[in-house]
Amino acid sequence: MKKILQALICTSIILFFGCAEDLVIEVEPRYGFTFAPATHLTENDEISIEILRLGKEERLRFHKCGPDCNTAVEVSSVGVESVKGSNIVTFHANENGKYYFWLNNTKAKEQKSAVKVKRVKNTLKGAFLEFESGSEIFIIRGKA
């Protein structure tokens, strides 16, 4: 009976708020520069990001991992010029696989160009990320 009640409560939460497991964002634990959905994306999956605050010298970059994620190919990127008129951008997975994001300070050189994630908060509606530069974004699966 307890399991049935838990299933009903979970189903009610999913119906009213969306599933918390739809999109969980994980920050790479060693350095804290890259962040990614906890699960692989499938072809045509979409990730929408609301840009709450973005430095004028920063670009949000979206990459598809190669084998074991030792290499990657950039799929797309956006900067302040990309969000004029709307602060929501959508990234598309062009094939099945592991994808990740990172915030790039275009004025800095080499490894200093990656902006560290200061805080991530996964919620039922998506994930909020704050960066050491002061930039902030909110990520959801699908179109916003």
Q: Is the pLDDT assigned to residue 134 strictly greater than 70?
A: yes
Question: Phi and psi at residue 28, in whole multiples of 5°?
Answer: -55, 120
Domain holding 46: CATH number? 2.60.120
Domain span at residue 125 reads 19-141
Q: Kindly tell me the sign of the dihedral angle through the C-alpha atoms of 93, 98, 101, 104.
A: negative
**Is 61 part of any domain?**
yes
Question: Phi and psi at residue 77, in whole multiples of 5°?
Answer: -150, 155
Q: Is the pLDDT assigned to residue 8 strictly greater than 50?
A: no
Q: 41: which 2 tokens?
A: 């994306």
**Is 100 part of any domain?**
yes
**Is 29 part of any domain?**
yes
**Is 7 part of any domain?**
no
Number of separate helices (H) and strands (E) present in the chain? 1, 11
**Is 120 part of any domain?**
yes
Better-scored residue on pLDDT, 104 or 19: 104
Q: What is the pLDDT of residues 74-110, one digit of tens each?
A: 999 999 887 777 889 999 999 999 999 999 999 998 7
Number of domains in the chain: 1
Q: What is the pLDDT of residues 40-54, one digit of tens each?
A: 999 999 999 999 999
Tell me the average pLDDT of the chain: 84
**Is 37 part of any domain?**
yes
Residue for token digits 């004028």? 56
Residue 9's pLDDT is 39
Q: How many residues does the chain have?
A: 144
Lowest mean pLDDT among 4-18, 25-39, 49-63: 4-18
30: pLDDT confidence band, cut at 50, 70 and 90? Answer: very high
**Is 3 part of any domain?**
no
Residue 141's pLDDT is 81
Question: Which residues make Cβ contacts (< 8 Å) with residue 13, sequence separation at least 6?
Answer: 20, 124
**Is 50 part of any domain?**
yes
Q: Is the pLDDT assigned to residue 15 strictly greater than 60?
A: no
